Amino acid sequence: MAMGSGGSDRFMSDINVTPFVDVMLVLLIIFMVTAPMMVQGVHVALPETTAESLPSDEKTLVVAIDKESRIYINDYMVTIDMLKEKLEKILQERTDRNVYLRADKDVAYGSVVQAMAEIKSAGVEKLGMITLPQTEETGAKGSKTGKR
């Protein structure tokens, strides 16, 4: 059983990389398909309770949701179905693509998330939340950051 024409009985010590490359390509395809699914979600940077308030700018775009789940862009009332369309038109003329969301504390969580999804799908780059500063009495009752 001579291998090759030289008559040497040595084994070939080269690594066969073809199966390795095949496995790596399959893993690459799996990660490429699943990566966009993992990015789903709404990113919101909530302010610290001790943070100072932002400087007031007259050109700030604010989306507000009141107790009855009515939606306003600044002072103009819109429906949830028209929110994305109106924001896209407004943002076409603006260089600043930041929007602030102000929602009543009694509004259902689902309504706020739905509005946030519509705002982000309109092309908003940064979505901020407007909150009231925490007072001493509310901080002691239900806050995780309150003194114990």
Query: Looking at the 3D structure of the chain, how many domains does it have?
Result: 1
According to the model, what pLDDT value does residue 51 have? Answer: 52
Distance CA 73, CA 50 (A): 28
Q: Is position 33 within any domain?
A: no
pLDDT, mean of residues 93-116: 86
pLDDT at 18 over 50: yes
According to the model, what pLDDT value does residue 24 have? Answer: 94
CATH number at residue 109: 3.30.420.270
Write out the residue range of the structural domain in which residue 76 sits.
Answer: 61-132
According to the model, what pLDDT value does residue 26 have? Answer: 94
Q: What is the pLDDT of residues 35-92, one digit of tens each?
A: 777 654 444 434 445 555 555 555 778 888 888 888 888 888 899 899 999 999 988 8
Residue 111, Cβ neighbours under 10 Å: how many? 15
- Which of 14-23, 86-95, 102-111, 136-145 is the least confident region? 136-145
Global confidence as pTM: 0.53
Q: Is position 116 within any domain?
A: yes
Q: Is position 45 within any domain?
A: no
Q: Is position 114 within any domain?
A: yes
